[in-house]
Protein backbone atom coordinates (compact mmCIF):
# COMPACT_ATOMS: atom_id res chain seq x y z
CA UNK A 1 0.00 0.00 0.00
CA UNK A 2 2.75 2.45 0.98
CA UNK A 3 4.76 1.58 -2.13
CA UNK A 4 1.69 2.10 -4.32
CA UNK A 5 1.03 5.56 -2.84
CA UNK A 6 4.68 6.50 -3.29
CA UNK A 7 4.59 5.53 -6.93
CA UNK A 8 1.37 7.49 -7.45
CA UNK A 9 2.89 10.60 -5.79
CA UNK A 10 6.10 10.22 -7.81
CA UNK A 11 4.26 10.16 -11.12
CA UNK A 12 1.81 13.01 -10.46
CA UNK A 13 2.31 16.25 -12.48
CA UNK A 14 -0.23 18.64 -10.94
CA UNK A 15 2.49 20.37 -8.77
CA UNK A 16 5.27 20.45 -11.35
CA UNK A 17 5.17 24.24 -11.71
CA UNK A 18 5.53 24.95 -8.00
CA UNK A 19 9.33 25.01 -7.92
CA UNK A 20 9.59 27.10 -11.11
CA UNK A 21 6.93 29.43 -9.78
CA UNK A 22 8.92 29.92 -6.59
CA UNK A 23 12.04 30.84 -8.59
CA UNK A 24 10.08 33.16 -10.88
CA UNK A 25 8.34 34.85 -7.98
CA UNK A 26 11.66 35.42 -6.27
CA UNK A 27 13.13 36.84 -9.50
CA UNK A 28 10.16 39.18 -9.94
CA UNK A 29 10.52 40.41 -6.37
CA UNK A 30 14.26 41.03 -6.83
CA UNK A 31 13.83 42.83 -10.18
CA UNK A 32 10.86 44.82 -8.91
CA UNK A 33 12.74 45.74 -5.77
CA UNK A 34 15.75 46.84 -7.83
CA UNK A 35 13.46 48.95 -10.03
CA UNK A 36 11.91 50.61 -6.98
CA UNK A 37 15.31 51.37 -5.45
CA UNK A 38 16.73 52.68 -8.73
CA UNK A 39 13.64 54.81 -9.32
CA UNK A 40 13.95 56.19 -5.78
CA UNK A 41 17.61 57.07 -6.42
CA UNK A 42 16.73 58.76 -9.72
CA UNK A 43 13.97 60.74 -8.02
CA UNK A 44 16.45 61.86 -5.36
CA UNK A 45 18.93 62.85 -8.08
CA UNK A 46 16.30 64.90 -9.91
CA UNK A 47 15.39 66.65 -6.66
CA UNK A 48 19.07 67.40 -5.99
CA UNK A 49 19.51 68.71 -9.55
CA UNK A 50 16.57 71.08 -9.23
CA UNK A 51 17.91 72.35 -5.90
CA UNK A 52 21.41 72.81 -7.37
CA UNK A 53 20.10 74.64 -10.45
CA UNK A 54 17.95 76.98 -8.36
CA UNK A 55 20.80 77.68 -5.95
CA UNK A 56 23.31 78.30 -8.75
CA UNK A 57 20.96 80.77 -10.44
CA UNK A 58 20.36 82.53 -7.11
CA UNK A 59 24.06 82.70 -6.26
CA UNK A 60 25.05 84.19 -9.61
CA UNK A 61 22.13 86.63 -9.58
CA UNK A 62 23.17 87.86 -6.13
CA UNK A 63 26.87 87.94 -7.05
CA UNK A 64 26.25 90.67 -9.63
CA UNK A 65 26.28 93.32 -6.90
CA UNK A 66 27.14 91.52 -3.64
CA UNK A 67 30.09 89.66 -2.12
CA UNK A 68 30.82 86.02 -2.72
CA UNK A 69 30.03 85.14 0.91
CA UNK A 70 26.66 86.93 0.82
CA UNK A 71 25.84 85.27 -2.48
CA UNK A 72 26.67 81.84 -1.09
CA UNK A 73 24.52 82.49 1.98
CA UNK A 74 21.62 83.46 -0.28
CA UNK A 75 22.01 80.27 -2.32
CA UNK A 76 22.22 78.08 0.78
CA UNK A 77 19.06 79.66 2.18
CA UNK A 78 17.24 78.81 -1.04
CA UNK A 79 18.58 75.25 -0.95
CA UNK A 80 17.26 74.94 2.61
CA UNK A 81 13.81 75.96 1.39
CA UNK A 82 13.89 73.41 -1.47
CA UNK A 83 15.42 70.56 0.55
CA UNK A 84 15.13 71.23 4.32
CA UNK A 85 18.06 69.82 6.29
CA UNK A 86 15.67 68.40 8.86
CA UNK A 87 14.42 65.99 6.21
CA UNK A 88 17.31 65.60 3.76
CA UNK A 89 20.38 66.44 5.83
CA UNK A 90 23.08 68.77 4.51
CA UNK A 91 22.73 68.53 0.73
CA UNK A 92 24.79 71.67 0.11
CA UNK A 93 27.51 73.51 2.04
CA UNK A 94 29.40 76.77 1.44
CA UNK A 95 32.43 74.88 0.06
CA UNK A 96 30.16 73.29 -2.56
CA UNK A 97 29.59 76.74 -4.13
CA UNK A 98 32.48 77.91 -6.31
CA UNK A 99 32.57 81.10 -8.40
CA UNK A 100 34.70 81.13 -11.51
CA UNK A 101 34.87 81.40 -15.29
CA UNK A 102 33.07 79.11 -17.73
CA UNK A 103 34.63 78.35 -21.11
CA UNK A 104 31.64 77.30 -23.18
CA UNK A 105 33.72 76.14 -26.14
CA UNK A 106 35.95 73.85 -24.09
CA UNK A 107 33.23 73.03 -21.52
CA UNK A 108 35.70 73.85 -18.75
CA UNK A 109 35.04 75.63 -15.45
CA UNK A 110 37.97 77.49 -13.88
CA UNK A 111 37.56 78.57 -10.23
CA UNK A 112 38.07 82.27 -9.51
CA UNK A 113 36.71 83.65 -6.25
CA UNK A 114 36.56 87.19 -7.66
CA UNK A 115 34.51 86.25 -10.72
CA UNK A 116 30.92 87.34 -11.20
CA UNK A 117 30.38 85.52 -14.50
CA UNK A 118 29.87 81.87 -13.53
CA UNK A 119 29.23 79.56 -10.58
CA UNK A 120 29.49 75.81 -10.05
CA UNK A 121 27.48 74.09 -7.31
CA UNK A 122 27.62 70.48 -6.11
CA UNK A 123 24.69 69.00 -4.22
CA UNK A 124 24.78 65.55 -2.69
CA UNK A 125 23.21 62.94 -0.48
CA UNK A 126 26.13 60.76 0.60
CA UNK A 127 27.13 58.48 3.44
CA UNK A 128 29.83 60.84 4.73
CA UNK A 129 27.10 63.41 5.40
CA UNK A 130 24.76 60.82 6.86
CA UNK A 131 22.06 61.63 4.33
CA UNK A 132 22.52 59.00 1.62
CA UNK A 133 19.43 57.65 -0.13
CA UNK A 134 18.22 54.47 1.59
CA UNK A 135 17.15 51.33 -0.26
CA UNK A 136 14.10 49.12 0.33
CA UNK A 137 15.01 45.77 -1.20
CA UNK A 138 18.70 45.97 -2.05
CA UNK A 139 19.59 46.14 1.59
CA UNK A 140 18.79 42.41 1.71
CA UNK A 141 21.81 41.84 -0.56
CA UNK A 142 24.08 44.19 1.36
CA UNK A 143 23.43 47.58 -0.34
CA UNK A 144 21.73 49.68 2.30
CA UNK A 145 21.97 53.08 0.60
CA UNK A 146 22.98 55.00 -2.54
CA UNK A 147 25.38 57.94 -2.76
CA UNK A 148 23.77 60.47 -5.08
CA UNK A 149 25.53 63.60 -6.38
CA UNK A 150 24.64 66.32 -8.91
CA UNK A 151 26.35 69.42 -10.27
CA UNK A 152 25.11 72.66 -11.83
CA UNK A 153 26.95 75.44 -13.65
CA UNK A 154 25.31 78.77 -14.41
CA UNK A 155 26.87 81.56 -16.45
CA UNK A 156 26.03 85.15 -17.31
CA UNK A 157 25.48 86.37 -20.84
CA UNK A 158 24.25 89.47 -22.62
CA UNK A 159 21.68 89.02 -25.38
CA UNK A 160 22.87 90.62 -28.58
CA UNK A 161 19.61 92.49 -29.07
CA UNK A 162 20.37 94.56 -25.96
CA UNK A 163 23.82 95.46 -27.27
CA UNK A 164 22.98 96.54 -30.81
CA UNK A 165 19.51 96.79 -32.27
CA UNK A 166 15.96 97.91 -31.52
CA UNK A 167 14.35 96.35 -28.45
CA UNK A 168 10.90 97.41 -27.31
CA UNK A 169 8.73 95.94 -24.60
CA UNK A 170 5.71 96.98 -26.62
CA UNK A 171 5.15 97.36 -30.37
CA UNK A 172 8.15 98.01 -32.62
CA UNK A 173 7.07 99.69 -35.85
CA UNK A 174 9.42 100.23 -38.78
CA UNK A 175 8.23 101.81 -42.01
CA UNK A 176 9.62 101.68 -45.55
CA UNK A 177 12.88 101.74 -47.47
CA UNK A 178 15.14 100.80 -44.57
CA UNK A 179 18.24 98.61 -44.77
CA UNK A 180 19.34 96.30 -41.94
CA UNK A 181 22.71 94.64 -42.31
CA UNK A 182 25.45 92.75 -40.48
CA UNK A 183 23.33 90.89 -37.94
CA UNK A 184 21.26 93.82 -36.70
CA UNK A 185 18.49 92.84 -34.24
CA UNK A 186 14.88 94.06 -34.12
CA UNK A 187 12.85 92.70 -31.20
CA UNK A 188 9.53 93.36 -29.52
CA UNK A 189 8.10 91.64 -26.45
CA UNK A 190 4.71 92.32 -28.05
CA UNK A 191 4.89 92.37 -31.85
CA UNK A 192 6.77 93.91 -34.78
CA UNK A 193 5.15 95.87 -37.61
CA UNK A 194 6.93 96.25 -40.94
CA UNK A 195 5.82 98.23 -43.99
CA UNK A 196 7.27 97.70 -47.47
CA UNK A 197 10.54 97.79 -49.37
CA UNK A 198 12.88 97.03 -46.49
CA UNK A 199 16.03 94.96 -46.91
CA UNK A 200 16.96 92.43 -44.20
CA UNK A 201 20.35 91.01 -45.04
CA UNK A 202 21.65 87.62 -43.92
CA UNK A 203 22.09 87.40 -40.16
CA UNK A 204 19.51 90.05 -39.28
CA UNK A 205 17.12 88.98 -36.49
CA UNK A 206 13.47 90.06 -36.28
CA UNK A 207 11.96 88.49 -33.18
CA UNK A 208 8.90 88.53 -30.93
CA UNK A 209 7.27 85.98 -28.60
CA UNK A 210 5.24 84.59 -31.49
CA UNK A 211 6.50 85.39 -34.99
CA UNK A 212 2.97 84.80 -36.28
CA UNK A 213 2.11 88.13 -34.61
CA UNK A 214 4.18 89.97 -37.23
CA UNK A 215 2.14 92.71 -38.92
CA UNK A 216 2.97 93.26 -42.60
CA UNK A 217 1.08 94.26 -45.76
CA UNK A 218 -0.42 91.49 -47.88
CA UNK A 219 2.69 91.47 -50.05
CA UNK A 220 4.96 91.93 -47.04
CA UNK A 221 7.33 89.02 -47.59
CA UNK A 222 7.65 89.79 -51.30
CA UNK A 223 8.46 93.47 -50.69
CA UNK A 224 10.72 92.96 -47.66
CA UNK A 225 13.70 90.94 -48.84
CA UNK A 226 15.09 88.58 -46.20
CA UNK A 227 12.32 89.22 -43.67
CA UNK A 228 10.99 85.66 -43.58
CA UNK A 229 14.46 84.21 -42.92
CA UNK A 230 15.08 86.78 -40.18
CA UNK A 231 12.02 85.85 -38.10
CA UNK A 232 12.50 84.25 -34.67
CA UNK A 233 10.36 83.44 -31.62
CA UNK A 234 11.91 85.06 -28.56
CA UNK A 235 11.16 87.10 -25.44
CA UNK A 236 13.38 89.03 -23.04
CA UNK A 237 13.06 90.49 -19.60
CA UNK A 238 13.73 94.24 -19.72
CA UNK A 239 16.36 94.09 -16.99
CA UNK A 240 18.29 97.18 -18.08
CA UNK A 241 15.12 99.30 -18.23
CA UNK A 242 14.06 98.03 -14.82
CA UNK A 243 17.44 99.17 -13.52
CA UNK A 244 17.21 102.60 -15.14
CA UNK A 245 16.29 104.44 -11.95
CA UNK A 246 19.30 102.97 -10.10
CA UNK A 247 21.63 103.86 -12.98
CA UNK A 248 20.52 107.50 -13.01
CA UNK A 249 20.79 107.70 -9.21
CA UNK A 250 24.33 106.31 -9.30
CA UNK A 251 25.35 108.71 -12.06
CA UNK A 252 23.83 111.61 -10.14
CA UNK A 253 25.86 110.71 -7.04
CA UNK A 254 29.00 109.91 -9.09
CA UNK A 255 29.27 106.44 -7.61
CA UNK A 256 29.10 102.79 -8.49
CA UNK A 257 29.92 100.76 -11.55
CA UNK A 258 28.09 103.04 -13.97
CA UNK A 259 30.56 105.94 -13.83
CA UNK A 260 32.00 106.51 -17.34
CA UNK A 261 35.76 106.22 -17.71
CA UNK A 262 36.16 109.89 -18.66
CA UNK A 263 34.60 111.29 -15.46
CA UNK A 264 37.43 112.37 -13.14
CA UNK A 265 36.32 115.61 -11.45
CA UNK A 266 33.22 114.72 -9.44
CA UNK A 267 29.92 116.64 -9.40
CA UNK A 268 29.35 120.16 -10.72
CA UNK A 269 25.92 121.79 -10.23
CA UNK A 270 24.85 124.06 -13.08
CA UNK A 271 22.05 126.56 -13.53
CA UNK A 272 19.06 125.35 -15.51
CA UNK A 273 18.09 127.77 -18.27
CA UNK A 274 16.49 127.82 -21.68
CA UNK A 275 19.60 128.68 -23.68
CA UNK A 276 22.35 126.27 -22.71
CA UNK A 277 25.86 126.90 -24.01
CA UNK A 278 28.87 124.65 -23.79
CA UNK A 279 30.60 126.89 -21.27
CA UNK A 280 27.86 125.96 -18.80
CA UNK A 281 29.37 122.49 -18.58
CA UNK A 282 32.44 121.31 -16.74
CA UNK A 283 34.25 118.71 -18.81
CA UNK A 284 35.09 115.35 -17.17
CA UNK A 285 32.50 116.01 -14.43
CA UNK A 286 28.97 114.99 -13.57
CA UNK A 287 26.93 118.12 -14.32
CA UNK A 288 23.56 118.39 -12.56
CA UNK A 289 20.70 120.74 -13.40
CA UNK A 290 17.26 120.88 -11.76
CA UNK A 291 14.13 122.69 -12.86
CA UNK A 292 11.22 123.98 -10.84
CA UNK A 293 8.24 122.89 -12.86
CA UNK A 294 8.41 121.34 -16.31
CA UNK A 295 11.03 123.68 -17.78
CA UNK A 296 13.31 122.86 -20.69
CA UNK A 297 17.06 122.89 -21.17
CA UNK A 298 17.44 124.00 -24.77
CA UNK A 299 20.78 123.64 -26.56
CA UNK A 300 22.03 125.89 -29.33
CA UNK A 301 22.17 124.67 -32.92
CA UNK A 302 25.43 123.02 -33.87
CA UNK A 303 26.56 122.52 -30.27
CA UNK A 304 29.10 119.79 -29.53
CA UNK A 305 29.22 118.21 -26.09
CA UNK A 306 32.16 115.99 -25.09
CA UNK A 307 33.43 114.14 -21.99
CA UNK A 308 30.42 115.13 -19.88
CA UNK A 309 27.67 113.51 -17.84
CA UNK A 310 24.46 115.53 -17.46
CA UNK A 311 21.85 114.47 -14.90
CA UNK A 312 18.67 116.54 -14.81
CA UNK A 313 14.95 116.49 -14.11
CA UNK A 314 14.33 119.08 -16.84
CA UNK A 315 13.03 118.40 -20.31
CA UNK A 316 15.84 118.56 -22.87
CA UNK A 317 15.72 119.88 -26.42
CA UNK A 318 18.87 119.43 -28.46
CA UNK A 319 19.69 121.92 -31.19
CA UNK A 320 19.89 121.17 -34.90
CA UNK A 321 23.00 119.26 -35.95
CA UNK A 322 24.18 118.73 -32.39
CA UNK A 323 26.77 116.05 -31.49
CA UNK A 324 27.48 114.03 -28.35
CA UNK A 325 30.87 112.34 -27.95
CA UNK A 326 31.76 110.54 -24.71
CA UNK A 327 28.57 111.88 -23.16
CA UNK A 328 25.84 110.49 -20.93
CA UNK A 329 22.55 112.37 -20.73
CA UNK A 330 20.39 111.02 -17.88
CA UNK A 331 16.96 112.50 -17.23
CA UNK A 332 14.53 111.99 -14.37
CA UNK A 333 11.85 113.73 -16.43
CA UNK A 334 8.84 111.51 -17.16
CA UNK A 335 7.28 113.52 -19.99
CA UNK A 336 6.43 111.59 -23.18
CA UNK A 337 8.97 113.85 -24.94
CA UNK A 338 11.36 114.39 -22.08
CA UNK A 339 14.21 114.39 -24.61
CA UNK A 340 13.74 115.70 -28.13
CA UNK A 341 15.79 116.86 -31.09
CA UNK A 342 14.61 118.64 -34.24
CA UNK A 343 17.13 117.44 -36.83
CA UNK A 344 20.59 115.97 -37.28
CA UNK A 345 21.43 114.71 -33.78
CA UNK A 346 24.65 112.68 -33.78
CA UNK A 347 25.15 110.33 -30.85
CA UNK A 348 28.73 109.11 -30.67
CA UNK A 349 31.90 109.88 -32.57
CA UNK A 350 32.09 108.86 -36.22
CA UNK A 351 35.25 106.83 -35.67
CA UNK A 352 34.68 103.61 -37.63
CA UNK A 353 33.80 101.58 -34.51
CA UNK A 354 36.94 102.49 -32.59
CA UNK A 355 36.81 101.96 -28.81
CA UNK A 356 35.19 104.73 -26.78
CA UNK A 357 33.73 107.90 -28.23
CA UNK A 358 30.18 106.56 -27.94
CA UNK A 359 27.37 108.27 -26.01
CA UNK A 360 24.23 107.25 -24.14
CA UNK A 361 20.90 109.00 -23.60
CA UNK A 362 18.73 107.72 -20.71
CA UNK A 363 15.35 108.93 -19.56
CA UNK A 364 12.47 107.99 -17.27
CA UNK A 365 10.18 109.44 -19.96
CA UNK A 366 10.16 109.24 -23.75
CA UNK A 367 12.48 110.27 -26.60
CA UNK A 368 11.39 111.96 -29.83
CA UNK A 369 13.94 112.70 -32.55
CA UNK A 370 13.17 114.18 -35.94
CA UNK A 371 15.00 113.40 -39.16
CA UNK A 372 18.68 112.67 -39.47
CA UNK A 373 19.47 110.76 -36.27
CA UNK A 374 23.02 109.40 -36.48
CA UNK A 375 24.40 106.81 -34.06
CA UNK A 376 28.05 105.76 -33.82
CA UNK A 377 28.39 103.60 -30.73
CA UNK A 378 25.23 105.30 -29.44
CA UNK A 379 22.55 104.11 -27.07
CA UNK A 380 19.02 105.33 -26.26
CA UNK A 381 17.14 103.87 -23.26
CA UNK A 382 13.68 105.14 -22.29
CA UNK A 383 11.08 104.17 -19.73
CA UNK A 384 8.52 105.40 -22.24
CA UNK A 385 8.40 105.39 -26.06
CA UNK A 386 11.18 106.17 -28.53
CA UNK A 387 10.43 107.59 -31.96
CA UNK A 388 12.76 108.80 -34.70
CA UNK A 389 11.92 110.08 -38.14
CA UNK A 390 13.43 109.59 -41.57
CA UNK A 391 17.04 109.03 -42.61
CA UNK A 392 18.44 107.60 -39.37
CA UNK A 393 21.93 106.18 -39.64
CA UNK A 394 23.12 103.52 -37.23
CA UNK A 395 25.55 101.78 -39.53
CA UNK A 396 28.32 101.96 -36.90
CA UNK A 397 26.63 100.96 -33.67
CA UNK A 398 23.08 101.68 -32.50
CA UNK A 399 21.24 100.42 -29.43
CA UNK A 400 17.66 101.63 -28.92
CA UNK A 401 15.76 100.16 -25.94
CA UNK A 402 12.29 101.24 -24.83
CA UNK A 403 9.94 100.00 -22.11
CA UNK A 404 7.19 101.31 -24.38
CA UNK A 405 7.06 101.40 -28.18
CA UNK A 406 9.72 102.06 -30.80
CA UNK A 407 8.55 103.93 -33.87
CA UNK A 408 11.08 104.28 -36.67
CA UNK A 409 10.20 105.76 -40.02
CA UNK A 410 11.78 105.49 -43.46
CA UNK A 411 15.06 105.61 -45.38
CA UNK A 412 17.26 104.45 -42.49
CA UNK A 413 20.38 102.29 -42.49
CA UNK A 414 21.19 100.17 -39.45
CA UNK A 415 24.08 97.75 -39.12
CA UNK A 416 26.29 95.92 -36.69
CA UNK A 417 29.36 97.58 -35.25
CA UNK A 418 30.47 94.85 -32.85
CA UNK A 419 33.16 96.97 -31.20
CA UNK A 420 32.92 100.58 -30.09
CA UNK A 421 29.92 99.87 -27.83
CA UNK A 422 31.93 99.65 -24.60
CA UNK A 423 30.04 102.48 -22.91
CA UNK A 424 26.64 100.81 -23.24
CA UNK A 425 24.60 100.30 -20.11
CA UNK A 426 23.87 96.59 -19.94
CA UNK A 427 22.45 94.07 -17.48
CA UNK A 428 23.51 90.47 -17.11
CA UNK A 429 21.25 87.59 -18.02
CA UNK A 430 21.66 84.10 -16.63
CA UNK A 431 21.55 80.66 -18.20
CA UNK A 432 22.30 77.06 -17.33
CA UNK A 433 25.62 76.04 -18.84
CA UNK A 434 25.57 72.35 -17.84
Residue 15 belongs to some domain of the structure: no
Poorest-pLDDT segment among 227-231, 295-299, 429-433? 295-299
- The range of the structural domain enclosing residue 61 comes to 23-157
Q: For residues 81 and 213, state if they share a domain.
A: no
pLDDT at 60: 96
Q: Do 169 and 161 form a contact (C-beta atoms < 8 A)?
A: no
Confidence of residue 58 (pLDDT cuts 50, 70, 90): very high
Q: For residues 133 and 178, state if they share a domain.
A: no
Residue 429 belongs to some domain of the structure: no
pLDDT at 2: 64
Confidence of residue 25 (pLDDT cuts 50, 70, 90): low
Q: Which of 119, 135, 157 is the last residue of a domain?
A: 157
- CA nearest 170: which of 406, 427, 387? 406
pLDDT digits (tens, 9 = 90+) for 3-24: 666 566 566 665 555 655 656 6
Q: For residues 53 and 144, state if they share a domain.
A: yes
pLDDT at 39: 87
Q: For residues 91 and 202, state if they share a domain.
A: no
Q: For residues 314 and 412, state if they share a domain.
A: yes
Confidence of residue 226 (pLDDT cuts 50, 70, 90): very high
pLDDT at 14: 59
Q: Which of 157, 178, 208 is the last residue of a domain?
A: 157
pLDDT at 9: 59
Residue 128 belongs to some domain of the structure: yes
Q: Do 384 and 403 form a contact (C-beta atoms < 8 A)?
A: yes
pLDDT at 257: 79
Q: For residues 280 and 310, state if they share a domain.
A: yes
Residue 34 CB burial class (10 angstroms; 0-12, 13-18, ≥19):
middle
Residue 17 belongs to some domain of the structure: no
Residue 348 belongs to some domain of the structure: yes
Mean pLDDT in residue range 329-343 = 95
pLDDT digits (tens, 9 = 90+) for 233-265: 999 999 999 999 999 999 999 987 789 999 999
Q: For residues 262 and 152, state if they share a domain.
A: no
Q: What is the pTM of this model?
A: 0.84
Q: For residues 82 and 207, state if they share a domain.
A: no
Poorest-pLDDT segment among 20-29, 281-290, 327-336, 374-383? 20-29
Poorest-pLDDT segment among 133-137, 184-188, 268-272? 133-137
Q: For residues 219 and 127, state if they share a domain.
A: no
Q: For residues 295 and 397, state if they share a domain.
A: yes
- CA nearest 123: which of 147, 141, 139, 106? 147
Residue 44 belongs to some domain of the structure: yes
pLDDT at 24: 67
Q: How many domains does the chain have?
A: 2
Residue 6 belongs to some domain of the structure: no
Q: Which of 134, 157, 180 is the last residue of a domain?
A: 157
pLDDT at 307: 95
Confidence of residue 181 (pLDDT cuts 50, 70, 90): confident
Question: What is the pLDDT of the chain when averaged over all its residues?
Answer: 89
- CA nearest 346: which of 319, 376, 391, 385? 376
pLDDT at 167: 96
pLDDT at 17: 56
Spell out the residues 6+ positions from residue 59 whose beta carbon is closer than 8 angstroms to its own.
71, 72, 74, 75, 97, 99, 119, 121, 154
| CA dihedral of 114, 117, 122, 123, whole degrees rounded to 10 | 110
Calculate what percentage of the chain has a pLDDT beyond 70: 92
Beta pairing class for 286-289 and 323-331? unpaired
Q: For residues 365 and 241, state if they share a domain.
A: yes
Residue 408 CB burial class (10 angstroms; 0-12, 13-18, ≥19):
buried
Residue 30 belongs to some domain of the structure: yes
Determine the Cα–Cα distance for residues 278 and 67; give it in Å rounded to an integer: 41
Amino acid sequence: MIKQRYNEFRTREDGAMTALGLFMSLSIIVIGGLAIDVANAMMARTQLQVAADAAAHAALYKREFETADDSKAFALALAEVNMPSGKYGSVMEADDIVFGVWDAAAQVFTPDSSSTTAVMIDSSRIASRNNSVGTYFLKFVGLGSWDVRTQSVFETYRPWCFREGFLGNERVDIQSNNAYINGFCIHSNDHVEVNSNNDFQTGVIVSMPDKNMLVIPNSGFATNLGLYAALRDSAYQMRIVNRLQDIIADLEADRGDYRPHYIKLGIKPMTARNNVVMSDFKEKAVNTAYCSGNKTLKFANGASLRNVVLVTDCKITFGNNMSLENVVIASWNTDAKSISAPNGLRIGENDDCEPFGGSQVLTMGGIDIAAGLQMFGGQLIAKGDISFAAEANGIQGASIIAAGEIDGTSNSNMGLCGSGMEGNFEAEFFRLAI
